[in-house]
Structure 1
Amino acid sequence: MKNETTSIPVIDVSTLGQENPSSALFSSFYDAYHHLGFGYILNHGIDPALVDSVFEASRRFHAMPLQEKMKIALDHKHRGYIAIDTSTDVNSKLAEVKKPNQSASFMMMREDQEERADVYLSGPNLWPALEGFRPVLEAFNTELERLAKKLMRVALLSAGVKDLSVIEKFDEPTTWLRLLHYPPLPKGSPADLYGSAPHTDFGCLTILVQDDIGGLQVQSPDGHWLDVPKMKNSFVVNVGDMLHRMTNGLLRSTPHRVINRSGRERYSCPFFYDPHVSLDVAPLKGTGAPKFKAVNFGDFLRNELGASYEKHKDSEG
């Protein structure tokens, strides 16, 4: 079904946890992500109280003095605090982007006990000295990882993939949980100043929770920008470039952006669910004659992060 106000599909995933999810789930999922690449999911099973706790933790973190946040500044493992004006979405296919994103964020990834030289972006997270912060984020990350793995299975089956052995590459996934803070853009700011410039997500699945400020927009196939406001007790889920490639283009990786001209602070929390960095991503059997060549996910990440983040530009030389 479609939300008449926004034209963003709404998908009931209440049968997701069953051994045999309903056929309606597969058909509605494919319809949403083949045509638009974005949708709201309802009845996902994650406690709204936990979501509220995450937003409380985010506001507490972003309210900390800058010098405290900079003690855990983004490291080469892509963990820690990302200050405003330090990331730029460089994608000439979508927009002429020269100004940094007007957002700040805390980034956590999978918690590894140690960094491994043979596994790109492996290692422990950086945590602020903020009471109760880490347990809330780790609990939310665990719940989202469980949900994402189930959604990934539905995504592949809905696109016609018969052999799901690729799911094994998500047993040790590359995950990212990001606490984003978008200050309001100044009045009269130029049109090419964004909270988050137009971009596609580079991984497989993104699960987003957001506050009620608004500002997220997704580009429709005909080029129009559609608002994606908050829907109570829902998550916004979208497809990224790697899942687009796995499904041979059947599931769409869609441009989206954030423009916060509300005059108020905006907070959101996206979770990115991707395979192990060792995976060579290519169209899977059952999706038709391959339209894409294989690409190593770890190599792809190095290029993407090096283009968008000052920290990785420095580390890549």
Structure 2
Amino acid sequence: MQVVDYLSENAGQEFVASLRETGFGVLRNHPIKQELVESIYQNWQQFFLAGNKEDFAFDPEKQDGFFSSEISETAKGHKQKDIKEYYHIYPWGRIPEELKTEILHYYQLASELAKELLNWVEQYSPAEVAKLYSEPLSNMIMDTPNTLLRVLHYPPLSGDEEMGAIRAAAHEDINLLTILPAANEPGLQVQLKSGEWQDVPSDFGNLIINIGDMLQEASGGYFPSTSHRVINPEGSDASKSRISLPLFLHPRSEVKLSERHTQHSYLLERLRELGVKV
């Protein structure tokens, strides 16, 4: 998996080649400032450790707000729930007032970068793949209310976790692309074509991007949505929290992904499989 310099002349081509090969691309020297990410990690860590997070319990219909570890996701094909809690950020959703300005600034910056990355993907798609897109990829997310920023908290391990449970079991993302600043602790792994698991280069300051199922669907399978997971830390690292900040790029609900699916029909199908929507 190649770490691509965002400022290099061939950045787009190298980035898309990495996506095609592994489902993941890693950028350095990108526009999102590390100081902003660090500040968000620190501020949201305090939120998850505070006692009032249940005041923002998620809305089952809108899917915004706080998801406790008791109701967090069970990855498709797994029986144990992931060891995590998280908060869903949408610009129209509920956000703690003291955290709102900073997190929405990040949401906007990452969404702007996302348009450029989707343009790269389209530019370096073969002609027979590009003609499958119902509209330009970057246009699919224009004015979308559906792009989701998830603030994830993996709490310290206590030692009495359910047998077989890990921080995030192997799964694929649902959306077009996921944009993820390297977390404050390692653990993210991607499954290679050989079946082996490889650590994703997660030096603090890297930006990690991976393909979701919707881009795989829209590209007729050309861009692979690759399985990834977050493994449990060992030794002294087990006592550390891990904060993660994935932005899941979702098209507008009516966008046609393929002959079979719009964004809305695809998302509904997957949320029901995950058990977070009835």
From the CA coordinates, give the structure whose radius of gyration is larger: 1
Instruction: Find the counterpart in structure 2 of residue 272 from structure 1.
Output: 248
Aligned to 2:194: 222
1:194 pairs with 2:166: yes
Query: Is the 1:184–1:260 contact (alpha carbons within 8 Å) kept by the matching residues of 2?
Result: no
Within the candidate set 80, 98, 101, 2:82 is matched to 101
> What residue number does 2:264 align with?
298
Q: Distance in 2 between matches of 1:40 and 1:233?
A: 10
TM-aligned CA distance change 1:225 to 1:191, over 3 Å:
farther
Displacement after TM superposition at 1:294 (Å): 3.0
> Aligned partners of 1:30, 1:242: CA distance in 2, in Å?
16
Which of residues 66, 69, 82 in structure 2 aligns to 1:81? 66
> What one-letter code is carried by the residue in structure 2 that aligns with 1:70?
E
- Native 8 Å contact 1:9 1:39 kept in 2: yes
Residue 252 of structure 1: aligned partner: 224
Matched letter for residue 171 of structure 2: H
- 1:188 is displaced (CA, Å) by 7.2
Instruction: Specify the SS of the correspondent of 2:170.
Output: strand
Structure-2 change in CA distance of 1:87 and 1:189 (3 Å): closer
Once the two structures are superposed, the pairs formed by residues 104-253 of structure 1 within 5 Å of their partners are 104-109=85-90, 111=91, 124-128=92-96, 131=98, 133-160=99-126, 161=130, 165-173=136-144, 174-187=146-159, 189=161, 192-253=164-225
The TM-score with structure 2 as length reference comes to 0.89
Distance 1:205 1:195 in 2: 21
Aligned residue for 2:42, secondary structure, equals helix
Secondary structure, in 3 states, of the residue corresponding to 1:281?
Answer: coil
1:9-88 superposed matches below 5 A: 9-14=2-7, 22=9, 24-65=10-51, 68-75=52-59, 76-88=61-73
Quote how far apart the aligned CAs of 1:248 are.
Answer: 2.0
Report the number of matched residues: 267
Instruction: Using the TM superposition, give the Cα deviation of residue 229 of structure 1 relative to its aligned residue in structure 2, in angstroms.
Output: 4.7
> Could you state the TM-score of these two structures normalised by the residue count of structure 1?
0.78
Q: Distance in 1 between matches of 2:191 and 2:71?
A: 25
Structure 2 unpaired stretches of 5+: none
| Identical positions, percent | 27
Secondary structure of residue in 2 paired with 1:295: coil
Shift of 1:270: 0.5
Contact 2:180/2:209 (CA < 8 Å) preserved in 1? yes
Matched to 1:104, the amino acid is E
For 2:142 and 2:124, locate their aligned partners in 1 and report how far apart those are by CA, in whole Å: 21
Q: Which amino acid aligns with 2:251?
A: P
Unmatched 5+ residue regions in structure 1?
Answer: 1-7, 16-21, 112-123, 283-292
CA offset digits 1:248-272 (Å, max 9, x no partner): 2221210011122231111111111
Q: Give the counterpart letter for 1:171 in structure 2.
A: M
